[in-house]
């Protein structure tokens, strides 16, 4: 290596310094070069200085690069360690997700209800085990859409589902099996969304259904059982109601041969026999009314006027029994009722209220228009609510569910058919009758009848 001197012009008598070490013997200085002119010496010296400066820079750059490489290697090693941890965590999460997926699949396939997943276009994507079993699709790929599962003539239950923005849709339809036959199902459809708060999107539909065939059979058996029980109760009630007048008639007829000459006996016999025969006739009439379909003879009826008529007929006896009467009737338009039938209901309820207050009390009768959502209806309906509320003896809780049953009565007299007929008459007018009662606190009957919206507007 040639080492430049720090001198601009070397003296003629300059000599080489002895090497500082063994390595210095291999170094060549400018002073060791012979026959150099001062200009050559100066030029060569500048070049050597530039070379030395460049060399030093290269050495410094090399050292800096070495430091950077070491730092990068350390950073790379650290990143590799972090990446390894991330990979381990990711593998753990994937295992966990796989376990959750297998568990979810197991739960879904264990459901007794059928479950079908459809995509946004309505194509079948997945079925659980119960759905495949019910539809006869236990093997083979899924093809087609919901229409391929419907029985012939059935409308698509999911038509316009996304356009309507519904959160769910329920109903009944009939599906067919792959081999043969159809079966009735109750279904519920919900849109597939990220969560319950997300807006429904055309991503797919989750359809759950259950076979109603066995349910319908059980319901029919229950209805037959109820009819038999009802028939037994009816027969028992009829036998009980007929036994007393028949026993009275039998007693008089047995005494008739020996007591016929007694004028007082003949008078009492004729009077009592006629009374008992009338009693049997009333029972027969009530049974006929209860058993045959009621066909209301509807006409325009002023319900307020009808209530006032019933109250007027009962006013005197109510006063005699110490019953205070309060009436609050909202004016309403004429309604289409069978006037005589509705009067029969009102009269029966007023008489029941009077009999429930043997020591006097208060009877409130009110009527107003209202809106209410009935069970099974999605929209509110305009209704007439007619309420009769007394503060009499009330009805025991265990008897509330039976008060509309034929021959059920807590009174010492009567056939127990009055409220049964009231219930039927109200139902035949597309109405509903409800009762609320507490022992010792009184009873309230609410009668609801449909009121057309146009009638409500006219009344307002």
pLDDT tens for 34-70 read 677 888 788 888 888 888 899 999 999 999 999 999 9
Closest CA to 369 of 384, 387, 379: 384
Residue 361, Cα to own-chain centre: how many angstroms?
44
Q: Which residues does residue 368 pair with via DSSP β-bridges, in sequence order?
A: 385
Unique residue bearing structure tokens 């009121």: 451
Backbone angle region of 203, left / alpha / beta, with phi > 0 → left and psi within -120 to 50 → alpha? alpha
Q: What is the mean pLDDT of residues 443-449?
A: 91
Strands of the sheet containing 204-211, edge to edge, are 124-127, 114-119, 204-211, 182-191, 169-176
Mean pLDDT over all residues of the chain? 78
Query: What is the gyration radius of the CA atoms in the chain, in angstroms?
Result: 51
Q: How far apart are CA 55 and CA 355, in angstroms?
A: 125
Closest CA to 84 of 72, 74, 92: 92
Residue 158, Cα to own-chain centre: how many angstroms?
18
Q: Identify the band that residue 240 occupies on the pLDDT scale cut at 50, 70 and 90.
A: low
Count, residues in the chain: 460
CA distance between the termini of the chain: 118
Alpha-carbon distance values, 253 to 119, 266, 267, 443 (Å): 83, 11, 13, 44
Q: Identify the band that residue 168 occupies on the pLDDT scale cut at 50, 70 and 90.
A: confident
pLDDT tens for 320-363 read 999 999 999 998 888 888 888 898 889 889 988 998 898 999 99
Contact 416, 406 (CB under 8 A): yes
The reported pLDDT for the residue numbered 101 is: 84
Unique residue bearing structure tokens 């919900």: 190
The reported pLDDT for the residue numbered 460 is: 45
Q: Which of 83-87, 102-106, 261-265 has the highest mean pLDDT?
A: 83-87
Q: How far apart are CA 227 and CA 291, in angstroms?
A: 13
- Residue 185, classified by CB atoms within 10 Å of its CB into exposed (0-12), middle (13-18) or buried (19+), is buried
Q: How far apart are CA 116 and CA 130, in angstroms?
A: 10
pLDDT tens for 183-221 read 888 898 888 866 555 555 557 888 888 888 777 777 767
Q: Is the model's pLDDT at 119 over the cut of 80?
A: yes
Q: How far apart are CA 210 and CA 135, in angstroms?
A: 11
The residues, ordered by sequence, that sit 6+ positions from 387 with a Cβ below 8 Å of its Cβ are: 364, 365, 366, 367, 444, 445, 446, 447
Provide the 8-state DSSP code for 147: G
Unique residue bearing structure tokens 């009769």: 388
The residues, ordered by sequence, that sit 6+ positions from 406 with a Cβ below 8 Å of its Cβ are: 230, 233, 234, 237, 290, 416, 417, 420
Three-class secondary structure of residue 349 per DSSP: helix
Q: How far apart are CA 417 and CA 307, in angstroms?
A: 22
- Is the pLDDT higher at 397 or at 52? 52
Backbone angle region of 440, left / alpha / beta, with phi > 0 → left and psi within -120 to 50 → alpha? left
Q: Is the model's pLDDT at 4 over the cut of 60?
A: no
What are the backbone dihedrals phi and psi of residue 294, each rounded to the nearest 5 degrees, phi first? Answer: -90, 125
Q: Identify the band that residue 415 occupies on the pLDDT scale cut at 50, 70 and 90.
A: low
Q: How far apart are CA 392 and CA 441, in angstroms?
A: 6
pLDDT tens for 275-305 read 778 777 766 766 666 556 656 678 888 999 9
The reported pLDDT for the residue numbered 183 is: 84
Q: What is the mean pLDDT of residues 119-148?
A: 82
CA pseudo-torsion sign 331, 337, 340, 346: negative
Q: Is the model's pLDDT at 376 over the cut of 60?
A: no
94-103, 158-167, 184-193: segment of lowest average pLDDT: 158-167
Share of the chain above pLDDT 90, in %: 18
Contact 387, 350 (CB under 8 A): no
Burial string for 160-180 (b: 16+ CB within 10 Å, else e) reads ebeeeeeeebeeebebbeeee
List the structure tokens of 251: 């007693």
The reported pLDDT for the residue numbered 413 is: 57
Q: Is the model's pLDDT at 159 over the cut of 80?
A: yes
- Count the helix, strand and coil residues of the chain and give each as a percent rounded to the nearest 5: 50, 20, 30
Three-class secondary structure of residue 373 per DSSP: coil
Q: How far apart are CA 158 and CA 171, in angstroms?
A: 10
Provide the whole-model pTM.
0.44
Contact 384, 331 (CB under 8 A): no
């Amino acid at each position: 290596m040639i080492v430049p001197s720090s001198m601009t012009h070397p003296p003629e008598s300059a000599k080489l310094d002895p090497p500082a070490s063994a390595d210095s013997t291999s170094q060549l200085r400018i002073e060791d070069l012979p026959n150099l002119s001062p200009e050559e010496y100066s030029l060569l010296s500048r070049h050597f200085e530039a070379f030395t400066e460049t060399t030093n820079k290269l050495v410094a750059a090399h050292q800096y690069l070495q430091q950077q490489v070491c730092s990068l290697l350390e950073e790379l090693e650290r990143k590799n360690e972090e990446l390894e941890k991330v990979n381990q965590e990711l593998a753990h999460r994937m295992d966990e997700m796989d376990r959750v997926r297998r568990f979810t699949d197991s739960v879904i396939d264990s459901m007794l209800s059928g479950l079908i997943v459809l995509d946004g276009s309505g194509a079948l994507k997945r079925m659980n085990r119960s759905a495949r079993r019910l539809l006869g699709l236990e093997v083979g790929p899924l093809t087609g859409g919901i229409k391929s599962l419907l029985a012939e003539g059935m409308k698509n239950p999911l038509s316009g589902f996304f356009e309507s923005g519904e959160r769910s849709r329920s109903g009944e339809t009939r599906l067919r099996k792959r081999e043969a036959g159809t079966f009735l199902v109750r279904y519920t459809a919900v849109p597939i969304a990220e969560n319950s708060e997300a807006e429904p999107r055309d991503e797919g539909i989750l359809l759950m259904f259950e076979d109603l065939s066995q349910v319908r059979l059980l319901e029919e058996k229950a209805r037959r059982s109820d009819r038999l029980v009802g028939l037994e109760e009816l027969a028992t009630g009829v036998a009980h109601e007929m036994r007393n007048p028949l026993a009275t008639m039998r007693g008089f007829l047995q005494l008739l041969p020996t007591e016929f000459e007694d004028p007082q006996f003949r008078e009492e016999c004729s009077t009592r026999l006629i009374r008992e025969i009338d009693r049997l006739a009333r029972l027969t009439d009530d049974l006929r009314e209860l058993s045959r379909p009621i066909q209301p003879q509807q006409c325009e009826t002023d319900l307020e006027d009808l209530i006032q008529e019933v109250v007027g007929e009962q006013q005197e006896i109510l006063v005699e029994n110490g019953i205070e009467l309060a009436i609050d009737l909202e004016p309403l338009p004429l309604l289409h009722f069978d006037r005589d039938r509705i009067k029969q209901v009102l009269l029966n309820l007023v008489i029941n209220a009077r009999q429930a207050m043997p020591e006097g009390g208060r009877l409130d009768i009110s009527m107003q228009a209202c809106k209410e959502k009935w069970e099974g209806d999605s929209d509110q309906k305009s209704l007439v609510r007619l309420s009769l509320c007394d503060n009499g003896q009330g009805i025991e809780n265990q008897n509330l569910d039976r008060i509309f049953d034929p021959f059920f009565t807590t009174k010492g007299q009567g056939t127990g058919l009055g409220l049964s007929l009231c219930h039927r008459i109200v139902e035949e007018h597309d109405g509903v009758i409800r009762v609320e009662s507490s022992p010792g606190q009184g009873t309230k009957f609410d009668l609801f009848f449909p009121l057309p919206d146009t009638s409500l507007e006219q009344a307002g």
